Amino acid sequence: MSEHPSTPTKAKPKKKAKVADKAASKGMKSENKVETPPADPRPAEAASKAAPAFESLTGDQRDMLEKLSANLARAALTAQGAIAEAALRQAERPAALQPDPFHVAPALTDVMGRLASQPDRMVRAQADLFQQYLELWQSAARRAGGEAVEPVVRPDKGDKRFNDPDWAENPVFDVIKQSYLLTSNWLNSLVSQVQDVDPIAKRRVEFFMKMLTDAFSPSNFLVSNPAALREAMQTQGASLLKGMENFADDLTRGGGQLAISQTDYQMFKIGENVATAPGKVVFQNEVLQLLQFNPTTEQVHEIPLLIFPPWINKFYILDLRPENSMIRWLADQGFTVFVASWVNPDVEMAAKTFEDYMLEGIYAATDAVMAQAGVDRVNTVGYCIGGTLLSSTLAHMAAKNDKRIASATFFAAQQDFAEAGDLLLFTNDDWLSDLEKQMDAAGGVLSGQAMAETFNSLRANDLIWSFFVNNYLMGKEPKPFDLLFWNSDQTRMPKALHMFYLRKFYGENALSKGELVLDNVKLDLGAVKTPVYVQSSKEDHIAPARSVYRGARLFGGPVTFTLAGSGHIAGVINAPVANKYQHWTNTDLPASVEQWMEGASETAGSWWPHWATWLREKSGGLVPARDPANGKFKPIEDAPGSYVKVKS
C-alpha cells in the first residue's frame, strides 16, 4: 500500500439527490401519522450564503475542497467501523474491562489525601503555577509586539515531541506547547514532592501521573499538532484517511485491542536478514534449543561461552545485523559461542516452573555444552531475567559443590530487587491477582502482546505516542527498524514460572534475603565464589544501575562491575565498531554505586573489549576451532533454529 492512497473520485450529486428524494418521500408517507415540525430556515440561509463563496473558488480550489471533504468523510467512517468492530470483540470478554487495571486508585487516594491535608502547600503551589502562566502571557504579548523573547519553559533534552519548527516559530503553537509543559511539570512536581506516604504508593502515582500527562500532550491531538495539520492540508485529507486505515489494521492485528505498529514487520525475516550468524542447533528439550555458532578463527579458547538471554524476548537481540552482532564479535575474538534459544511456550507448558527452567535450562544446557566441546567447565552469561535465573543456579550449584561454571557474566541482571525498575510498580497483590486471572482465562499463559504493552508503557513517549502520531495523525507507515521488530517479537509466559518470578523476586525479594528455595535448597549468593563480571547501564529503566550494583555486592567471590552508557538494550548491544557511548570501570566495590562512580575511570566507546580481556583470563589456552557439525551431538537443524520462529 502506498504512503498516501489515491485520491478518491468526486462525489456524484445525482446519487445524493436520489438519496434525498427517497428520504423526502419517506417523510411524506409518514406525514399522516406524525406532524412534521416547521423547517428550520437557518441551514438554508447558511447554504445560500456559502453558495456564492463556493462559486467564487477556482476549479482547483473546488477540487481540493471536495477531495478534502471526501477524505475526511471516509476517514471518519473507517474509524467508526474499526471502533465498532473492536467494541464487539471486547464485549465478548467483559472480564478484561477493568476501570483501574493497575490499581493505582488506592495509592492516588493516599497521595492526594496527603496533599489535601496541607492546604498551605497547595496554595503556594497554585500561586507558583499562576506566576508561571503570568510570565508566559507576558512573554507572548512581548513576542506579539515583535520583541525576541526566551521561552518560559523548554522541553527536556531528548524530548522529540516538539521537534517540528512550528512548535517554536508559530506563536500560537509555541504558547500551546509552553502551557502544556508548565502544567504537566507542575502536576508531576506536585506529586513527587509529597512527603510522609508509602514510597511505593508515591512512586506508583508518580508513574501514572507521568503517563497521564504524556497522554494529554498537544502533540497527540490533530487540532494542536502543526505537523499533522500541515500534512492533512497538503494531502487534502489523504493522510488522515491513511491514518485511520492504519488504525483499523492495528485493531484487527490486535484482535480488537490496539496493537500499534512500531516498524514494517514484513521487512524482516528471522534467519534471512536478522539472526543470520551461521551455526547449528546441537541439542534441544522442552524449554530450549542450544545453538552452537561457527568459529571464525583457526584456534579458539578451550573453555566455551554459553549465553542465557531473557526468555521474555528472543535471543537474536545478540545477532540483529552482522555489524552489531555480539555473537559474531565474540566468535571473532576466538571464543566458542553457544546460546540458549528459549521456547515460546503454549498452554501445554503452563505448569513449567522457575525450577524447571533451572534444571532443564541451565543445568541441561551446561551438560550439553561440556559434552559437545569435550570440557568439564563452561563460562556463562545471563542477560536480564536470564541473569536472575543464572545467579539463582550458581547459588544452587554452590550448595551442591558443583563447579562446572568457571565464570559468570551478567548483562543488566538483578539479584536484589529492593530498588528495581518501574516494573516493580506492576507487582502489588491486586495487580498480580488480576494478572493470574488473565492467564487462567488464556489457558495458563500470558500473551506476548500483554508483555509488549507492559514494557512499552515504561517508555510511552518513545514506544507508544510517537507511533500514534506517525501512524494515525500523520498517516505514515513506520520505518523498518530491526530493533523494534525484535522488541515486538515477544514470547508467551507460563503461569507457574511467571507468577513465581514476580512474587518471589519483585514481591518478596527472596533471593537477596537468602530466603529463596529451589529444588529443596535454600539459596545463598554469598556462597558463590565463582568469578563474576557485572555489566549495568547508566540509563537503564528496567534494571537500574543502583539495583544491579546492590546485587553485585551479594556474591561471595571476586566481582568486576562495569557501568555502560545508554539503556537496557543499547547499553548492552554496543559493538565497538559503532564507536558510541562510553563506559566506566573501577576495581573497588564500595557500599554504593555513587561511591563507586567517584572512583571510576571513564573510557569512550564500547565496554565489550574490557569484558573480552576479563573473559580471556577465564577461558584457558587455545585449541583447534570447533566445528558445530563435528561435535558429540548430531546437528538437529541450522541456526537460528525453529524455537525462535514461533510467534505468539
> Which of 497, 518, 386 lies closest to 444 in space, CA to CA?
497
Residue 89 and residue 248 in contact, taking contact as beta carbons nearer than 8 Å = no
DSSP 122: H
Q: Is 182 exposed, middle or buried (0-12, 13-18, 19+ CB in 10 A)?
A: middle
* C-alpha cell of residue 638: 541450522
Rounded Cα–Cα distance for residues 239 and 232 (Å): 6
Q: Report the distance separating Cα 317 and Cα 305, nearest Å.
A: 17
Query: Quick one: cell of 611?
Result: 569484558
Count the Cβ atoms, other than its own, within 10 Å of residue 180. Answer: 20
Note the residue count of the chain: 648
Q: Considering 70, 190, 364, 384, which one is annotated as catalytic?
A: 384
Coil vs helix vs strand at 408 = strand
Query: Which letter does DSSP use for residue 572 in this model?
Result: T
DSSP string, 382-446: EETHHHHHHHHHHHHHHHHT---EEEEEEES--S--TT--GGGGG-SHHHHHHHHHHHHHTTSEE
d(CA 518, CA 515): 10
Cell 476517514: give the residue.
Answer: 75
Question: Measured between alpha carbons, how far is 33 from 37 in angstroms, rounded to an integer?
Answer: 13
Longest dimension (CA), the chain: 102
**The three grid cell numbers given for residue 48, joined into one nine-digit string:** 445560500
Query: Where is 409: in which H helix or E strand?
Result: strand 405-411
Contact 290, 281 (CB under 8 A): yes
411 is catalytic: no
Per DSSP, helices labelled H in 235-362 are: 238-253, 326-332, 354-356
Is residue 319 a contact partner of residue 277, using CB atoms and an 8 Å limit? yes
Distance CA 406, CA 618 (A): 7
Query: Strands 622-624, 299-301: parallel, antiparallel or unpaired by DSSP?
Result: antiparallel
Q: How far apart are CA 359 and CA 164, in angstroms?
A: 53
Number of H helices, E strands in the chain: 23, 17
| CB neighbour list of residue 79: distance below 8 Å, 6 or more residues apart | 244, 247, 248
Degrees to nearest 5, angle at CA 422 with 418 and 426: 90
Active site residues: 384
